Amino acid sequence: MLTIFWISLAILVYSYIIFPLLLKLFVTPKDITSVTLETYPSVDIIIAAYNEESCIKERIENALQQNYQGKLQILVASDGSKDSTGEIITSFTDDRVIAINFENNRGKISVLNDLIETSSADFLVFTDANTDFKEDAVEVLVTSFSENIGAVSGELILETDDGNQNKDGLYWQYEQFLKKSESALGGILGANGAIYAIRRELYIPLPKDTIVDDFCIAMNVKKQGYDVVYNDKAIATEEIAPSLNDEFGRRVRIGTGNYKAFMANFWALSPSQGWFSTCYWSHKVFRWFAPHLMILSFISNLFLLSHSFYLMCFIGQVLFYITGWYGQQKISKGIQVSGVVAIISFFLSMNVGLGKGFIQFLKGHQSGGWQRTARTGETK
């Protein structure tokens, strides 16, 4: 039990603290050099939407405001929405908007596969229905492609109001730092689903039950021998989920998708992949199994209570979990808590969601359907 306790604890500390610290100390993020284009390639912006009547009109209008100098189209589809999303997207008369209103809800991946099959553009830019692009975002993405680059992830800025205690925005800044550092090592994992671009010919249709499509699409690009890089000058903004409860459902779904992606990408575990494999283990795999490691650490600690040091460790773990539970109870009632309590609550909520996602995965979750995340200011 002693070995299990220390190995579990060491992996958790390494993944969340030591690995980022090593990146901070020894890796200098690199700026992506823009390529000068004699002729601008064609681009299709891909948007799959489900029940997004509150924001889809503004999303398409924002996409049309891009100052990209080449041919630009917006391919947008409603996936059997039960609100007016389908009517809104088909109401656009601009020739650059190609809209499809699917009658049945089949899941995001089925929609993406269908949209991309109709595309003949040189590059595809993926985004979400509630995202806003800075006017030069598409141009920055496209001019980031050199010969060996197959995908470029942009910078997503999560916006929130002062009363929102969901710490996903803070965690996202932490994740952005990791992505930038890993990009310098050639080890960036996945992409920001709200803003990224790939070469059209590198898109491999995904199984319809895929959940973390942005991760899987980027991994498929890397698997084909091309680099995936991060350019923080291609900027998008998005509102953070208004509460921990709203974020929790998304975490469960992403968790299920993570374990599916793990099973589909054993190739990335091989040391032959160099820094990419190191980043994959350190940043993704170890964290995907953080709930398991937390349980192992807690249970193994129970068998070591006869030693005063491990008794203190156990008390520390209990206090940590009580603090997280307490914080979640207060936050769910709209009561302000300290920053430390909010961070602990978010960390536990994130990993409980991931653990629940693992249970869904074990149950053989096969649904390709999707649920939208609540937006700030919406009523339920």
Cβ–Cβ under 8 Å, residues 48 and 79: yes
Name the band, by pLDDT with cuts 50, 70 and 90, for residue 374. Answer: low
Tell me the per-residue pLDDT of 193-245, one tens digit each, with 9 for 90 and over. 999 999 999 999 999 999 999 999 999 999 999 999 999 999 999 987 655 56
Instruction: List 158's β-bridge partners, or say none.
Output: 238
**Would you state the pLDDT for residue 336?**
87
Cβ neighbours for 71, distance < 8 A, ≥ 6 positions apart: 40, 42, 43, 121
Out of 3.40.50.720, 3.90.1150.10, 3.90.550.10, 3.20.20.190, the CATH code matching 43-241 is 3.90.550.10
| 7, pLDDT greater than 80 | yes
Planar angle of CA 132, 138, 141, nearest 5 degrees: 115
Residue 358's pLDDT is 96
What DSSP designation does 65 have?
Answer: T
Per the DSSP assignment, residues forming a β-bridge with 133 are 236
For 69-73, 120-124, 169-173, 263-267, which range has the lowest pLDDT when averaged over its residues?
169-173
pTM: 0.90
Query: Taking the domains of the chain in order of start, what are their residue ranges?
Result: 43-241
pLDDT at position 371, please? 61
64 or 164: whose pLDDT is higher? 64
The predicted pLDDT at position 167 comes to: 45
Mean residue pLDDT of the chain comes to 91
pLDDT digits (tens, 9 = 90+) for 112-147: 999 999 999 999 999 999 999 999 999 999 999 998
197: which DSSP letter?
E
